Amino acid sequence: MANFREYSVKLGAMSGMRRVTSTMKMVAASHLHRAQTELRLPEPFSQQLRLLSRLARMDRFKGHRLCRPPAGMNPRILLLAMSSDRGLCGSFNNMIVREIRQWLHGQTRTRLAQVEAVYAGHKGYTALWREIPPCMKALDLTAHPHIKETEPISDFALNGFLEGRYDEVWVASNRFVNTMTHEPMVKRILPYDPWKVKNPPTENGGDEEILEPLDDRLLEAVVRQWVHYCVYVAQLNRAASEQASRVMAMENATINLRRMEKDLILLRNRARQAAITSELTEIVSGAESLG
């Protein structure tokens, strides 16, 4: 059994850890509040991108590489994997890694797909680089991603798709629902599927718009904006989900440390009482021996 001094040292160390976790929780909460606000920024732009659904439904573009149905067997797939650079965020990284592994099992076993990945976040790279080879160095992330930071990823994906190096492009990220909930998801963004778009534009409603130039240049320009939007939104959801997970993880750690402190205080008091009792016993025994 430890003595009073040893328990005091452990209690001091635990109190320092609790202050650290409590501070990290407050910092993550401030980041989360800002990340939730940034999640709403792309919404007006997404309404404008409904034009892409109309273009993809036109007969002249149905045979274009960007709108053709994906290959059934042996496709070459590029995966954009979004994780975090740091730990201490609960099950955030484990959830997306587990979802990617389940998706990879289905693609390689049923479709015999060849998969490469662009890792945005070192945690995903560390967990998956042996299973999904990277095609570039893992990218560093920021707590509040900007559209210019996501452009290299989306440009690499779209150019590789147009040049024929890849048949499909998928994005894996956590979708932020609320502070308590975030859902891992892996979705395909290329080739574009207009029939999966929610609330597609009506074909005959309102005045007919004139689109120029009505050729491949217009389609590719709009698809490029669509890919930028998808990658940017995935990064925003990743940032918000990571901060929410960190808030919950640090709160749980703080609560557990408080409980451990209470247990240590009880043990320290018992050790002090035992030491006092032992000293009294020695004094009484010494007095009796002298008498």
pLDDT digits (tens, 9 = 90+) for 62-88: 778 888 888 778 899 999 999 998 888
Reference 138, options 150, 126, 154; nearest CA is 126
Least confident segment among 89-93, 133-137, 190-194, 238-242:
190-194
Consecutive H or E run containing 119: strand 114-120
Q: Spell out a b/e string for 117-129, using b for 16 or more CB atoms within 10 Å of the CB, else e.
A: bbbbbbbbbebbe
Partners of 119 in beta bridges: 81
Partners of 182 in beta bridges: 176
Give the Cα separation of 271 and 62 in Å (integer). Answer: 80
Per DSSP, the three-state class of 131 is coil
Is the Cβ–Cβ distance between 121 and 138 less than 8 Å?
yes
CB neighbours of residue 226 within 10 Å:
22
Q: Could you tell me the two tokens for 175? A: 């979708």
Domain residue limits, the chain: 27-195+217-248
CATH architecture of the region 27-195+217-248: 3-Layer(aba) Sandwich (3.40)
Band of the pLDDT at 2, cuts 50, 70, 90? confident
Give the Cα separation of 50 and 72 in Å (integer). Answer: 27
Its pTM stands at 0.84
Each residue of 130-152: pLDDT tens digit? 999 999 888 888 888 888 888 88
Q: Could you tell me the two tokens for 218? A: 């217009």
What's the order of all strands across the beta sheet hosting 168-176?
114-120, 76-82, 168-176, 182-190
Query: pLDDT at position 54, please?
Result: 80
Band of the pLDDT at 207, cuts 50, 70, 90? very low
Band of the pLDDT at 281, cuts 50, 70, 90? confident
pLDDT for 214 beyond 80: no
Q: Report whether the peptide linkage leading into residue 213 is cis, meaning its omega lies within 30 degrees of zero.
A: yes
